[in-house]
Amino acid sequence: MLSRRVAQLEPSATLTITAKAKELKAKGVDIVGFGAGEPDFDTPDFVKEACTKALMEGKTKYAPSAGIPELREALAEKLYRENGVEYKPSEIVVSAGAKMVLFLIFMSILNDGDEVLLLSPYWVTYPEQIKLLGGVPIEVPLKEEEGFSPTAELVAEYITDKTKAIVLNSPNNPTGAVYSQEELKRIAELCLERGIFLISDECYEAFVYEDKFVSPASFSKEVRDITFTVNAFSKTYSMTGWRVGYVACPEKYAKVIANLNSQTVSNVTTFAQYGALEALRNPEAKEYVSRMKTEFQRRRDRAYELLLTIPEVKVFKPKGAFYIFPDFSFYAEKLGSDLKLTQFLLEEGKVACVPGSAFGAQGYLRLSYATSMNNIEKGIERIRETLEKLA
């Protein structure tokens, strides 16, 4: 009785393992969790205070669908100041996290059978959203030896008459790769030549440890005009539960997305938007983000160093985000799959990791280092000891 679209929706492979980890934790078992896709820092007090103030002042009613004007203005300033791209507030739409923003973009541009290029490994949600909307996700496999970074030549091989868009996510979830700026430019040129939209998911912008973050929309006016720049407050300000994300794009597309927003979520929680506004305006915000980044970098270095001590595991050193994505194929093959390996590590080692197959990369494991240094040291040691049983 359900729709065909919903029937083909894949259940999240990561859920099984997370649910099992939660069940064990509830029973009092000491589990080290590497599954979290969110910073372990608290939302800054100044953000919470601005939200509470708005709430107490009665900012509790419907707001404009595209977002409160002050927030869209502050976002236009941020995009100009930090990303070097000029957007008018009317070219910005605020929706319920980057996830909903992406869904609305796909809904705006896809017809049945349209193809969307996904650089693999990719974030789990992209293919599911694309399929739900009648599109066809096309995987473009990236090589670890090339730093999980794409080249224009590789992307060109996968373009067909049906290609509508490419999704870029740098810094990347799950690999932590930061794509080469030069290649990004060449890919953007290729998109221009072939009439393909560029969707740039910049959620991890704040966490780049080597290289420099760059927004493709800043390359040229022409590239800006085919780009959807997607971002959120979720990771940068540790506001995952607030559900505030946004897209910046030419006004003709922004209008459609705002319309879709008005017919689906109506608007992002009004007082939450005032909290987000404070995150952009408060002078302490820079220091808050910079402290978090320094801590993540320290943890990345330690996690990398410790993972290297596990025999038969290949470790790619991430350049950004807060994930590390080592190749555990040697052990995954012994057990049959990476999902089986995560189950084994959970049951035998009391460590929760996410299988790489959820991101299109069988044999890998994703570990989030958005957890304490103590957990990182304890958890990786547990992995090492547990895998000794398989060696």
- Output the 3-class SS for the chain: CCCHHHHCCCCCHHHHHHHHHHHHHHCCCCCEECCCCCCCCCCCHHHHHHHHHHHHCCCCCCCCCCCCHHHHHHHHHHHHHHHCCCCCHHHEEEECHHHHHHHHHHHHHCCCCCEEEEEECCCCHHHHHHHHCCCEEEEEECCHHHCCCCCHHHHHHCCCCCEEEEEECCCCCCCCCCCCHHHHHHHHHHHHHHCCEEEEECCCCCCECCCCCCCHHHCCHHHHCCEEEEEECCCCCCCHHHCCEEEECCHHHHHHHHHHHHHHCCCCCHHHHHHHHHHHHCCCHHHHHHHHHHHHHHHHHHHHHHHCCCCCCECCCCCECCEECCECHHHHHHHCCHHHHHHHHHHHHCEECEEHHHHCCCCEEEEECCCCHHHHHHHHHHHHHHHHCCC
Q: Is 170 in the site for ligand PLP (CB under 6 A)?
A: no
Q: Which of 65, 129, 173, 342 binds ligand PLP (CB under 6 A)?
A: 173
Part in contact with ligand PLP (CB under 6 A); list of ranges 44-52, 95-103, 266-274, 338-346: 95-103
Residue with smaller CB distance to ligand PLP, 178 or 313? 178
- Cα 9 to Cα 111, 126, 165, distances in angstroms: 18, 12, 21
Q: Give the C-alpha separation, 334 to 329, whole Å.
A: 8
Output the smallest distance, CB 308 to ligand PLP, in A.
Answer: 25
Tell me the per-residue interface mask from 219 to 238 with ligand PLP, x by CB under 6 A, - otherwise: -------------x-x----
Residue tagged 């393909």 (tokens): 196
Instruction: Please report how close the Cβ of residue 322 comes to ligand PLP at its closest, in angstroms.
Output: 10
Minimal distance, residue 105 CB to ligand PLP, in Å: 12
CB nearer ligand PLP, residue 209 or residue 359: 359
**Which residues in 289-318 contact ligand PLP (CB under 6 A)?**
none
Asked whether position 356 contacts ligand PLP by CB under 6 A, the answer is no
CB of 389 to ligand PLP, least distance (A): 32
Q: Which of 106, 102, 10 is nearest to 360 (CA)?
A: 10
Span 26-85, contacts to ligand PLP by CB under 6 A: 37
CB of residue 245 vs ligand PLP: minimum separation in angstroms? 4
Tell me how far, at minimum, the Cβ of 97 lies from ligand PLP, in Å.
3
What is the x/- site pattern for ligand PLP, positions 177-206, by CB under 6 A? ------------------------x-x---
169 in contact with ligand PLP (CB under 6 A): yes
Pick the closer one to ligand PLP by CB: 31 or 105.
Answer: 105
According to DSSP, the residues that pair with 228 across neighbouring strands are 199
CA 176 from centre of chain:
10
Q: How far is the CB of 350 from ligand PLP (least distance, A)?
A: 24
CA distance 148 to 150: 7
Regarding 343 and contact with ligand PLP (CB under 6 A), the answer is no
Q: Closest residue (Cβ) to ligand PLP?
A: 97
Q: Which is nearer to ligand PLP, 214 or 387 (CB)?
A: 214
Count of positions on this chain that bind ligand PLP (CB under 6 A):
13
Taking CB under 6 A as the criterion, the residue among 87, 123, 197, 253 binding ligand PLP is 123
Q: Which is nearer to ligand PLP, 235 or 350 (CB)?
A: 235
The token pair that represents 257 in the structure block: 């997305």
Q: Which is nearer to ligand PLP, 31 or 101 (CB)?
A: 101
Residue with tokens 């708005």: 54
Q: Check binding of 275 to ligand PLP (CB under 6 A).
A: no
Which of 39, 44, 67, 97 forms a contact with ligand PLP (CB under 6 A)?
Answer: 97
How near is the Cβ of 381 to ligand PLP at its closest, in Å?
27
Of 12, 18, 181, 240, the one binding ligand PLP by CB under 6 A: 240
Strand 365-368 to 323-324 pairing: antiparallel
Task: Summarize as ranges the residues that interact with ligand PLP (CB under 6 A).
Answer: 37, 97-99, 123, 169, 173, 201, 203, 232, 234, 240, 245
